[in-house]
Structure 1
Amino acid sequence: MEFAHVSILALFCLAFVGIGATPSGEDYWQSVWPNTPLPKAFYDLLIPSGKTNNLPIRADELNQYSTLFFQHDLYPGKKIILGNTQSEGNIIRKIGKQRQGVTDSIWLANKDKQSLYDFCNSPTAKGEHKQCVSSLESMIDHVISHFGTTKIKTISSSFSQNQDQYVVEEVKKVGDNAVMCHRLNFEKVVFNCHQVRATTAYVVSLVASDGTKSNALTVCHHDTRGMNPELLYGALKVDPGTVPICHFIGNKAAAWVPNHSVDHPCVI
C-alpha cells in the first residue's frame, strides 16, 4: 500500500514540472525524497543519451572492487593494498592484474567474459536476486518495491584518487542483506542492482599513505557457496562455502539499506 501511495505522490509532484515537459530522473528522486541530494555514484544515470564514450571504471579503479579479504581482517590498524588479494600477516597484498568488464566478479555466474545483454540475462548465483536498470527512475522503483517502503537510505564509498595503500581506522556496521547497485563497466549506462542473502554491510574508514581519509563501503558474504572457486582460492587459498569473505565496493556503486531515522528519509 505504501509503495502505491508513493507512486501516486511522485506522479502528482512531477505534474508541476510543466505540461509537455519530460521529467528527469532527478525530478523523480526529489519527488520521493525531497531536499535529499542524489549520490555521486548515480550521476551517470543522468546522462541524456544513456551512453558514454569510454568505460566508466578505469583500470586502476577496478582494484576498489576486487580487494578480497576475511571478515577478521576488519579491524583498526590493518594495512590494505587495493587489488585482487591474498591475506598474509598484517597486510593484504595485490596478486593479479585486473581486466575491464564484468569478468572479475566473485560470483560463478559471471566467470566468463560476457556482453551486457548476456550478463543481465544470465542465471543468478545461489541466493542472489538481481536486476539491471538503465535509468534512475527504474532504480528507485526497484529498491522501493524490494523493501516495500521509501524509508531507505544509500551508503557509498569515497576512495581517494591515485591511492591504493590504506590503513583501517574504524569499522561501522551498516546493516544486513543490503541491495547493492553498481555501474557495470560498459559504455552504455547500466547499473546492476542485486541482493545476496546472508550478507552484512559496513562502512570502513581508511587512511591513505599520504594521510588522506576515505570511506569504503564493504560487504561480507557469510554464504559463499556461489562464488568463483578459482578466484577465491587464488586470492585467499580457501574454497567456496567455507568461511565468510569480504570485499570493498568502489565509487561507482552504492548500497541501499533500511533507514530508521524519522527526520531524514534518505540519508546519503
Structure 2
Amino acid sequence: MIAMFLYIYIYIYIIVGAKENGYVGVGKEVEMEPDISPSLAYASPPGSVNVHHSDADVKSFFFESDLHEGSKMKLSFPKIKNSAKFLPRQVSESIPFSTTKLPEILAHFSMKSKSLQAKAMEDTLKVCEAPALNGEDKYCATSLESLVDFGVSKLGNQIKIISPTQVQREDPHVYTIGRGTKMIGDKSVECHKLNYVYAVFYCHEVQGTRAYRVPLKQQLQQQREDGDVALAVCHSDTSAWNPKNEAFQQLKVKPGTVPICHFLSSDTLFLVNK
C-alpha cells in the first residue's frame, strides 16, 4: 500500500514538474545524444554538468570547500536533449535489456545496427552491466515503478524526490554562490537518465556522498534577491574512480585524496529521506 502511494506521488511529481524533460509517456520517436556516451568507472560521473566543455575556464568539478557564499565559478548548464519516455513496468520487463540481446532490441524498435542511436544504446547497456564500484550499490531502472522500488529499498518508505532546477542560461557564465547553501542529505540515491530508446535511469547509492542545495546568482542578478538554485553532490571517497577521470585532471589531485563535487544535470532525479 505504501509503495502504491509512492508511485502515485512520484508519478504526479513527474507529470507536473518534469513533463518538459520527457519523463512520461510512451513513444519510439526519441531524441538522444549519441555523441555523449555514458562512461564506465566514473571516467565522467553520470549526471554531472559541463563535462567535456571546450572552454577550459568552465568548472565541471570543484572542492567542497568552494561551497560558500561569495565563491565564484564559471559554469555551463547545457539543455538536455534526451526526450525518451518511461514505459510501464510490464512493457519494459517484456523487452530484453542486455548487450547479448542488442540485435533483438534494435529489431524490436526498428533501429539500424550501425546508427549512432544504436551505439548510444549499446554504451548504456555496458554501463548497466558494468560491476559496481567499491561502496556503490547500483541499479538501472527501466520503469518508474522499478526506480521507486530501488529508492525504497535503500532509503525506506519515507522518501522524497528532488529534481535539480534548470538554470536559465546555457552558455558559460560566471556565477556567484549566494547566501543559504544547505546540505539536504548524506544518505541518498541518485538516478541519472541515460541514452536509450525509452527512459532508463542509472540509480546508485554511494557511500560518503553529501548533497547540497546551492543558490547561484549571475553577475546581473547581484542586486536582486532571487536567482537560480542548483543541486551539488560531493563525493568524499574517490579512491575507486578511474585515475583518468576528468575531475582529477581539472583539480590536479589524485584519487582518494579530497572530496570532489559537481552540479547535477536537470535530468537527474535525487531521492532522499523525508
- Relative to the length of structure 2, the TM-score reads 0.65
RMSD between superposed Cα atoms in Å: 3.3
State the 1:155 CA deviation: 2.1
Name structure 1 gaps, 5 residues minimum.
14-27, 84-99, 102-112, 260-268
2:231 corresponding residue in structure 1: 217
Q: Please give the alpha-carbon distance, in whole angstroms, between the structure 1 residues aligned to 2:257 and 2:22.
A: 37
> What's the counterpart of residue 6 of structure 1?
2
Partner residue of 2:258 out of 227, 243, 256: 243
Residue in structure 1 matching 2:71, options 67, 72, 78? 78
- 2:187 is matched with which residue? 177
Superposition map of 1:186-265 within 5 A: 186-211=196-221, 213-230=227-244, 231-259=246-274
- How many residues get paired? 207
Alpha carbons of structure 1 residues 57 and 156: separation in structure 2 relative to 1, 3 Å: farther
2:130 to 107, 117, 122: 122
1:167 corresponds to 2:176 = yes
Partner of 2:139: 131
Tell me, in whole angstroms, the C-alpha distance in 2 between the residues paired with 1:36 and 1:155.
Answer: 9
SS of the residue 1:52 aligns to = coil
TM-fit CA distance, 1:232: 3.1
> Partners of 2:48 and 2:12 in 1: how far apart?
34
Hey, what's the Cα distance between the residues in 2 that align with 1:76 and 1:243? 21
Counterpart of 2:18, as a letter, is: K
Are the aligned partners of 1:156 and 1:216 in contact in 2 as well (CA < 8 Å)?
Answer: no
C-alpha deviations, 1:148-193, integer Å up to 9, x for none? 21x1112222222324321111311101021001111344421111
Q: Once superposed, which parts of structure 1, at least 4 consecutive aligned residues long, lie more than 6 Å away?
A: 56-59
Deviation at 1:50, TM superposition (A): 6.1
Deviation at 1:29, TM superposition (A): 3.0
Query: CA separation of 1:50/1:253 partners in 2, compared to 1, >3 Å: closer, same or farther?
Result: farther
**Contact 2:190–2:203 (CA under 8 A) maintained in structure 1:** yes
* Counterpart residue identity of residue 49, structure 2: Q
Deviation at residue 117 of structure 1 after TM alignment:
1.1
- From 155, 159, 162, the equivalent of 1:152 is 159
One-letter code of the match for 1:168? I
CA shift in 2, pair 1:78/1:187, >3 Å: farther
1:47 corresponds in structure 2 to 25
Task: Report if aligned partners of 1:129, 1:194 keep a CA contact under 8 Å in 2.
Answer: yes
State the shift of 1:249 in Å: 0.5
- In the alignment, which residue of structure 1 is the partner of 2:49? 64
Structure 2 CA distance for partners of 1:51 and 1:201, relative to 1, 3 Å: farther
- Give the superposition deviation at 1:126: 1.5
CA distance in 1 between counterparts of 2:215 and 2:125 reads: 36
Counterpart code for 1:154: I
What is the distance in 2 between the residues matched to 1:134 and 1:209? 41
In structure 1, how many angstroms separate the alpha carbons of the residues matched to 2:11 and 2:138?
A: 27
Distance in 2 separating the partners of 1:63 and 1:152: 23
**Following the alignment from structure 1 to structure 2, what is the Cα–Cα distance between the partners of residues 141 and 42?**
24
Shift of 1:200: 0.7
